[in-house]
Structure 1
Amino acid sequence: MRLTIFLLILCVFEYAVSVDHTKFKTCEQSSFCRRCRNVKPNNSKFALLPGTLNIYADSVTAELQHKINKHVFTLKIEALEQDNTFRLLVDEKTPLKSRYRVTDALKSAPKPGSIKVQEGDAEFTITSGANKAVVISDPFRIDFYQNDVLTVSVNAKGLMTFEHLRTKPAANDAADEITDYGAWEEKFNAHHDSKPYGPEAVALDFSFPEADVLFGIPEHADTFALKSTAGTDPYRLYNTDVFEYILDSKMALYGSVPVLYGHGTQRTAAVYWQNAAETWVDIDTAEKNVVSSIVNFVSGSRKTDAPAAHFMSESGIIDVFVLLGPSPLDTFKQYTSLTGTAPLPQMWTIAYHQSRWNYNNELDVAYVSRKFDEYDIPMDTMWMDIEHTDGKRYFTWDQYKFPNPLGMIKNLTAVGRHLVVIVDPHVKRDNHYFFHHDCTERGYYVKTRDGNDYEGWCWPGAASYTDFFNPEARAYYASQYLPANYKATTTDVMIWNDMNEPSVFNGPEVTMSKDVIHYGNWEHRDVHNLYGHMHALSTFEGLMGRDPNQRPFILTRSHFAGTQRYALIWTGDNMADWGHLQHSIKMCLTEAVAGFSFCGADVGGFFGNPNAELFERWYQTGAFLPFFRGHAHLETKRREPWVYGEKTRLIVREALRKRYSYLPLWYTMFYEHEVTGEPIMRPLLTHYPKDKEAFAIDNEFLLQDRLLVRPVIEQGVKKVNVYFPAIDDKSNGDVWYNIDTLKRFTNVGYESIPVESDTIPVFQRGGTIIPKKERIRRASTLMKNDPYTLVICLNREGKAEGTLYVDDEKSFDYRNGIHNYIKFNFENNKLDVNPIGKLKYKTPAWIERIVIAGLERVPKSATLIIDGVSQELEVLPHGEAIAIRKPGTSVQQIYNIRLNY
């Protein structure tokens, strides 16, 4: 036993020192990637078979044939009922066995819309509204147009691959065109992949003729704008546990979201490649060649130098959604209309979380909670990592360190705080552990090829892995969250799912072998990128079963398209250095446009010990990211906010208080995200699509269209350059106001902003009204009925508008209309306040102050009018603005306020 533990610790230690690239494949070491990448362009081997076209009211089908091996495939194209979206499916006509189709990523089955089809000699055209798909027979290609503008072209480079299932050929059988040495079995390091079904890769290229920049396909520690992969490995999508991941890298990380966007000054489009197998994506940024551009212009030919992507997956089918925009927001919404949005979280979950691996015991938890109060620093949630369990047995507690967890939980909730505990998917192989015993007896584990329970190594030592694709296993796992089963927790305790890529310390590439078997007789290679998604789904089902009217809170590391419906994410095991701070913005921006608005990074860095300056700047950045959690590795020094001394403590305290003051805005944005599908955190190109300078900027970001955030993420600087974008191609821009001073900025371009150690450069856009709460308490739960402040920043026309959303901050009653959603509009020196829908949630909260910036002159007074009754209000100077004191209106009232001159 001691030797086993020693070997496990040695394995983990060696792995954790730094990224060992020899543990992870390159494209050249991956047989299917190597084969797909070696396909020569402009020589497509696929063509439509004449006479096979079938036209229906909502779709067309036809047969495709590989021109060399004569294998036949089915093609189906649908125009969806939702705006400007097509779906393309290709599968084998008569496969030796069924190929895997992803069924769990979409929120529901998309509804096809009506179409019209016009047949030609060598092509046919599918029309849906202002959109059309022109399908060319030979070589096979599909051109998608929006308003007669070519927007996306499929297989324009002729890189399509579809390796049909086949029996293994005899040795040296020249009749089989696939001769790659890794096609039928593959070895990597000491691991063997049996590949019982042989080569089965699928690949397709997509060109974006209107695009200047491509972005998407998280998760990578790279820039927001995707880089060319010429001369390098492609971007890899293969959920993998990577300690201390390196930056500016295309290597795979914890999540895989295969949606890619192409954006240009005139339009945006996207493709969602729905495949859960290992996937590589080549990016051609298509640096414009002057000579070829002139030739194309003169000849009137299609643009051949368009930015393009080549998706290559190991197995499955071709299942692609083509999203035609035309604006960035349109495209983002089209994607989330397919995969869903995050449900509105509870208020406390968007406040501050305090975590480390691990808080030692109950006394330690009580001490940390008490110190936050002692230093008047707000904090809502304490987190428990794996050491809280009894020997890494999940759903248990260490009885020596945590003898009274219910008492500990009660002490936290008594002061308005919450607890989150970790539950990972690896199960300790211990016959005395109830969960392992039950999974063994009932057959709930992932299996080896010979039908035995798969066994790997993770934190508990020898472990097996729950097969979350099995509905019975998923239901059993979910039932463990019931109060009758998880007796040492309450329904207010929420969950952290980690290591669910899945992480297997002694497995190939630190994960599960591809030839193990899941429910339904699917190989792991078919579903790998979905495993963490199904884990999060199972946890969500468990928390819903535990308390159907309380919104679950689940943090997951592994994720796929659609996981946002169940859980939020973070950027994983980052480092305490400036580069990782900078990449927390780049990575969360990319996740946000891929459906994951609720994203954050371990504040301070998971590995290493940040110095005071980095610690301060990371808290200032985290205060404006959607998920805000401080977390640290087991071997780091303690780093609660008071550890660094008074100066740092006060700077961190101010950053936290700023976060809490904006919680009404955050809550409103999360509600609007669920309703509209629009991301909360946004790249500048979202609202400034014609400003090319803004396309690749990823050191600043927007929160909706209300705040522009450019944190200080460089060491030792006394000023930062903030880019204020142009709203059109004539260099006109918005008015911006510094949120601390309300100083106006009216120019377009880079502005040098002086910064002190306590400065967070954040700017409110002119034309917006933002709700705040400025009475900061120890936890957000205690601020529920506190009054609001409205900050009105006027645009050049003297106008502004905004919204405020209010409900009970906990239950699903809001979905039954029990909420208040309020619209503010300022125009002609008058503020009008009206509900959107009915005001059904009763609250004592009221408006205690209104700040207005951008007025040309100071009014003498203001008049409040409610139901025809007038009341005079006092107006006072407020820096470069004015403040209306104590209007005293309820958030359930309809009223207006007029400025008097």
Structure 2
Amino acid sequence: MVTSNTGWLQEVLVLTSLLANHSDFAAVDTSSPVPSFSPTGTSLQSQFTVPASADVGAAVIPNIHDPEAINAQTVCPGYLATSIDVTAYGLQAHLSLAGESCNAYGTDVSDLDLVVEYQAQSRLHVKIKPSVITSQNESWYMLPEAWVPAPQQEAGSVENSDLSFSWINKPTFGFNVTRKSTKEVLFSTDGSKLVFENQFIEFVTSMNEGYNIYGLGEVICGLRLQSGLTRTLYAADAGNPIDGNIYGNHPFYLQTKYYEVDQETGEKVLLTKKLDPEETTSNYTSTSHGVYLRNAHAMEILMNPTNVTWRTIGGIIDLYFFNGPTQPEVTSQYISQIGLPVMQQYWTFGYHQCRWGYHNWSETEKVVNDMNKFDIPLETIWNDIDYMNHYRDFDNDPERFPYDEGAEFLNRLHDKGQHYIPIVDSAIYVPNPETEKGVYPVFDTGYKTGSFMLNPDGTLYIGQVWPGFTVFPDWHEGAAEDWWQTTMAAWHEKLPFDGIWIDMSEVSSFCTGSCGSYNLTLNPVHPWFQLPGEPGNKIYDYPEGFNITNATEAASASAASSTQAAAASMTAASTVSPTSYLRTTPTLGIRDVNHPPYALNHIFGDLAEHTISPNATHHSGVQEYDVHNLFGHQILQNTYAAISKINPGFRPFIIGRSTFVGSGNYSGHWGGDNASKFYYMYFSIPQALSMSLFGIPMFGVDTCGFSGNTDEELCNRWMQLSALFPFYRNHNDIGAVDQEPYRWASVIEATKIAMNIRFQLLPYLYTLFYNAHTKGETVMRALAWEFPNYPSLADADRQFFLGPAILVTPVLIQGHTAVSGVFPGLVEGTDVYYDWYNQSAVCMPSKKNTTIDAPLGHIPVYIRGGHILATQQMAMTTRDARKTDWSLIIALDISQRATGKLYLDDGASITPNATKIVTMEAQLGIDSGVSRLRIDVDVDGEFTGLDLPLGNVTVLGVPEAPANMSVWVDGEEVDAFIEYCPVGKKLVVSGLQHVLNGRVWAKKWSLTM
């Protein structure tokens, strides 16, 4: 898996002999130089192309698909508990093997320690680890709290906890976690065996049929995890395969149980079937709880019909149970322990435009100018790897992206209130020792300081990414942290960027093993695959239905792609499925980290394929096998520290690809390499909702799709949908068609409509993020979370709430001009909804699942009754939008009341000098026999930066005009224009700019009429 050497500077001495014998390179003819491909326009030079075989690992069959696989539950003995020591805060016990060792997928651990802690009223901790851990037992690597916080003992005890731990020894050790207040068993291993080996741990919890589990990401699938799904948690640069393991790893799930309540006796019966959407919901209730396994090793969770089986190939069992008993409480309890989401700067909620394929500063700035020409707001322009000098981090191409020209461009951006963000990859180019000495100080400094990962023999581990053979930062070392921060600061001095985009952080490598060892004189090398945008590699893949909506263009594309199709078929024909698989047998006391005996259902099979090998070694001696899933998390931590030093006192803005538990405390996340397909637009919703559970609310996807060609209809729909996501960015592949929103007239119009909604909601969205940052609340919400007693909504993921007040129901199917949706509580008479556009109440449908008209260019958006929204107006940037007058939209509920909250600060500081919280209440009632409207506003805090005029107040759901069409503010009658619309039952009060001295949030006030 890894080629050892005696130092990278000596590699040139053995290059010739290695080329003749190295299996990865022997078939390559090096007698003639291979011309480089340069999609970014970098000058051509001779460049070696790494063969495709370099990125092919061993043929591994996943254990779950292997007919020869051992069933550990059948052959292993389990454990027995002895020496029980109970205290007021928990218990400790010794676990010993209940029989002869099975050594199914490793070496059995004969003695374990069990520790149970009642940490808080709502949290229980269960830890099982080897009784004796030696330097030879690396697989029991303890996850450092400095990287991933561990919940600590608080004021919990056996007496005050609502969670109860019990254990049995019949026939072997098992345990139950029960909620005392309801007697619900939340987690039970009773009836299964605990398996604990040096490379394999298994425990099983029983489940009711039809269970509802959410989380266990990151995965592209529906929100509710289906029985039969195997969730693999192993970071992979795999694009976005459906149901496969991809970038992030979050071993946490939320479980919701629904109960049918007997209206006469009050007895509750667990619901195990899916309800018809039209069935009444008045007889149901629910509870929720959360389970978190604090383990960063590769693992699988098997969603079986009546149980969930956890399997990990290392570490320990470190379980935390969160009582809830509602989804908001579970989420808050979990996120408050792993790290509350970072508060974002206000400007980050503007619109972001990116493209792999902006070839120079002029082209980049033209996009900015074109957005302005079409009056489309643009907050931030991004550059992908195009800006790099031969794809090298922290090094701009001197001809296409020179620093002096870039600094002038960024000055123009900043003067207009706009921003700039470049990409930074996760691997560092290694210069050719023969021809490139001193050309890349970024590597030289990192090498001298020992900042890069190693082979087991202490030499540099050298993989391959975009620039060629590369090394990878060792985040376990303080030297690497200092080097990263210093390097980023030096780059910022030349290019004053406003945030960072971290990519390839799984960590990705285009070869299996340390393929660059002994081969550095070939650098820079070209990856084995043809890069998008290179000659002959045009993308002709379009969304479904493209031939219907774009017949002429579709015919042209079909003819042009015929040659590629033939080539693809030849490639497919040459791919032969293996006739045999690599299976490894455990060797007692020894770990096989490259090919562990238990084979995960990994998207690539071999754990080393398309990433760095499990036996790559940190300077501390820890192998990548034990910490692979942490690389993406740690690069985000170090980037956050770097930007904090560059701009002290200001909130860093980072978007990263690979995440782990707690990554939201440092960055946001985008959905990765999706495709320009309608179904990927749909999957963006459950992906975003799952990220809400994981504490990463700053989430969005590549709008209009990354890979493949988008088209007008798809981009029209997607630009509107993403406008209601927290992170709003359009980004696509270099070989695909242009997809900036101004490319189609209908997309321009649709984008402006949706952006107008977004801009009005920015103060609301910002307040939601404040609540997430301070209390662990979710921003995007599933319908089931807002309506926990509606079992029919358990798997609803084609609609969503933005906070509690905004319901979004997008069209997600090609060619459709209507969408099916529900208005929870409307038929039941508990809730009312108002159409965003005409502000009238939604009529009562004959069926819960109703059809909503949604022609192209229209995204159905509704305000839920009971909420007050403080809004501002759309402008070309968020800076200018924050200077506009305020308005209030008051959506009355069925009791004709509404409340709202607004958080205000400078929008940038980590610790603002002053803040302000505005609380709003409204009520329409009868006073002395006369219909009266009263609005009360309370103000707490000293921030004055947004004390601007109040333009108007719109009240929705007013059944009749007020008896007296006069307006009083703080008891004094004021001049205002009043309009009542009986058809829409809407009351509008305008012309209020002069009231309150033009400073609406300066003090508390009331308005009556």
Aligned to 1:882: 987
Aligned to 2:969: 865
Closer/same/farther in 2, CA of residues 437 and 263 from structure 1, 3 Å limit: same
Answer with 554-563 or 838-847: which moved more.
Answer: 838-847
User: Contact 1:136–1:142 at 8 Å: present in 2 too?
Assistant: yes
Aligned to 1:458: 465
Alignment of 1:360-759 (within 5 A): 360-403=359-402, 404-430=405-431, 431-432=437-438, 433-482=440-489, 484=490, 486-490=492-496, 493-507=498-512, 508-644=608-744, 646-726=745-825, 731-745=828-842, 746=844, 749-759=848-858
The amino acid of 1:553's aligned partner reads F
Aligned to 2:115: 76
In 2, the alpha carbon distance for the partners of 1:344 and 1:826 equals 29
Aligned to 1:822: 918
In 2, the alpha carbon distance for the partners of 1:85 and 1:24 equals 43
In 2, the alpha carbon distance for the partners of 1:690 and 1:21 equals 50
The amino acid of 1:502's aligned partner reads V
Closer/same/farther in 2, CA of residues 766 and 399 from structure 1, 3 Å limit: same
Asked if 1:246 is matched to 2:258, the reply is no
**What's the offset of the Cα at 1:54?**
2.7
Aligned to 2:142: 101
Closer/same/farther in 2, CA of residues 788 and 211 from structure 1, 3 Å limit: farther
Asked if 1:781 is matched to 2:786, the reply is no
The amino acid of 2:409's aligned partner reads M
Aligned to 2:952: 849
In 2, the alpha carbon distance for the partners of 1:624 and 1:21 equals 41
**What's the offset of the Cα at 1:626?**
1.3
The superposition leaves residues 341-383 of structure 1 with CA deviations (integer Å, 9 ceiling, x where unpaired) of 2222111111110000131111112211111111110010000
Aligned to 1:295: none
The amino acid of 1:864's aligned partner reads W
**What's the offset of the Cα at 1:318?**
0.9
In 2, the alpha carbon distance for the partners of 1:480 and 1:144 equals 49
In 2, the alpha carbon distance for the partners of 1:649 and 1:14 equals 45
SS of the aligned residue for 2:879 comes to helix
Closer/same/farther in 2, CA of residues 593 and 831 from structure 1, 3 Å limit: farther
SS of the aligned residue for 2:407 comes to helix
Count of residues in correspondence between the two structures: 811
Aligned to 1:343: 342
The amino acid of 2:641's aligned partner reads E
The amino acid of 1:160's aligned partner reads L
SS of the aligned residue for 1:407 comes to helix
The amino acid of 2:694's aligned partner reads A
**What's the offset of the Cα at 1:128?**
3.7
Asked if 1:144 is matched to 2:177, the reply is yes
**What's the offset of the Cα at 1:161?**
1.9
Closer/same/farther in 2, CA of residues 820 and 238 from structure 1, 3 Å limit: same
The amino acid of 1:500's aligned partner reads S
User: Contact 2:825–2:832 at 8 Å: present in 1 too?
Assistant: no
User: Contact 2:81–2:173 at 8 Å: present in 1 too?
Assistant: yes
User: Contact 2:747–2:857 at 8 Å: present in 1 too?
Assistant: no
SS of the aligned residue for 2:741 comes to coil
Alignment of 1:832-847 (within 5 A): 832-835=935-938, 837-847=940-950
Answer with 828-837 or 403-412: which moved more.
Answer: 828-837
The amino acid of 2:721's aligned partner reads T
Tell me, which stretches of 5 or more residues in structure 2 are unaligned? 1-29, 38-45, 102-108, 259-285, 432-436, 513-607, 926-931
User: Contact 1:722–1:753 at 8 Å: present in 2 too?
Assistant: yes
SS of the aligned residue for 2:852 comes to strand
The amino acid of 2:351's aligned partner reads Y
User: Contact 2:835–2:862 at 8 Å: present in 1 too?
Assistant: yes
**What's the offset of the Cα at 1:394?**
1.3
Closer/same/farther in 2, CA of residues 158 and 29 from structure 1, 3 Å limit: closer
In 1, the alpha carbon distance for the partners of 2:820 and 2:712 equals 23
Aligned to 2:167: 135
In 2, the alpha carbon distance for the partners of 1:437 and 1:542 equals 19
**What's the offset of the Cα at 1:844?**
4.0
SS of the aligned residue for 2:448 comes to helix
Aligned to 2:352: 353
The amino acid of 2:241's aligned partner reads I
In 2, the alpha carbon distance for the partners of 1:500 and 1:102 equals 19
Closer/same/farther in 2, CA of residues 241 and 856 from structure 1, 3 Å limit: same
Answer with 152-161 or 140-149: which moved more.
Answer: 152-161
**What's the offset of the Cα at 1:519?**
4.0
User: Contact 2:939–2:1002 at 8 Å: present in 1 too?
Assistant: no
In 2, the alpha carbon distance for the partners of 1:567 and 1:853 equals 37
In 1, the alpha carbon distance for the partners of 2:52 and 2:793 equals 42
User: Contact 2:168–2:190 at 8 Å: present in 1 too?
Assistant: no
In 1, the alpha carbon distance for the partners of 2:674 and 2:312 equals 28
In 1, the alpha carbon distance for the partners of 2:77 and 2:880 equals 64
The superposition leaves residues 589-613 of structure 1 with CA deviations (integer Å, 9 ceiling, x where unpaired) of 1111121111111001001111110
Aligned equivalent of 2:1003, options 890, 894, 901: 894
User: Contact 1:105–1:561 at 8 Å: present in 2 too?
Assistant: no
SS of the aligned residue for 1:509 comes to coil
In 2, the alpha carbon distance for the partners of 1:565 and 1:887 equals 41
**What's the offset of the Cα at 1:505?**
0.8
User: Contact 1:348–1:780 at 8 Å: present in 2 too?
Assistant: yes
Closer/same/farther in 2, CA of residues 310 and 58 from structure 1, 3 Å limit: same
Percent of matched pairs sharing the same residue: 24
Closer/same/farther in 2, CA of residues 841 and 159 from structure 1, 3 Å limit: farther
Asked if 1:28 is matched to 2:57, the reply is no
The amino acid of 2:183's aligned partner reads V
User: Contact 2:887–2:950 at 8 Å: present in 1 too?
Assistant: yes
**What's the offset of the Cα at 1:107?**
6.6
Aligned to 1:182: none
**What's the offset of the Cα at 1:494?**
0.9
Closer/same/farther in 2, CA of residues 487 and 14 from structure 1, 3 Å limit: farther
Asked if 1:63 is matched to 2:111, the reply is no
Closer/same/farther in 2, CA of residues 458 and 822 from structure 1, 3 Å limit: same
**What's the offset of the Cα at 1:851?**
0.8
In 1, the alpha carbon distance for the partners of 2:852 and 2:318 equals 48
**What's the offset of the Cα at 1:29?**
8.1
The amino acid of 2:494's aligned partner reads A
**What's the offset of the Cα at 1:56?**
4.1
Alignment of 1:273-312 (within 5 A): 273-286=293-306, 308-312=307-311
The superposition leaves residues 4-27 of structure 1 with CA deviations (integer Å, 9 ceiling, x where unpaired) of 968999669999xxxx99999653
User: Contact 1:105–1:563 at 8 Å: present in 2 too?
Assistant: no
In 1, the alpha carbon distance for the partners of 2:185 and 2:47 equals 52
**What's the offset of the Cα at 1:656?**
2.4
Tell me, which stretches of 5 or more residues in structure 1 are unaligned? 117-125, 165-199, 287-307
Closer/same/farther in 2, CA of residues 571 and 838 from structure 1, 3 Å limit: same
Aligned equivalent of 1:795, options 893, 910, 916: 893
Closer/same/farther in 2, CA of residues 21 and 377 from structure 1, 3 Å limit: farther
SS of the aligned residue for 2:901 comes to strand
In 2, the alpha carbon distance for the partners of 1:34 and 1:409 equals 61
Answer with 656-665 or 220-229: which moved more.
Answer: 656-665
The two structures have a TM-score, normalised by structure 2, of: 0.77
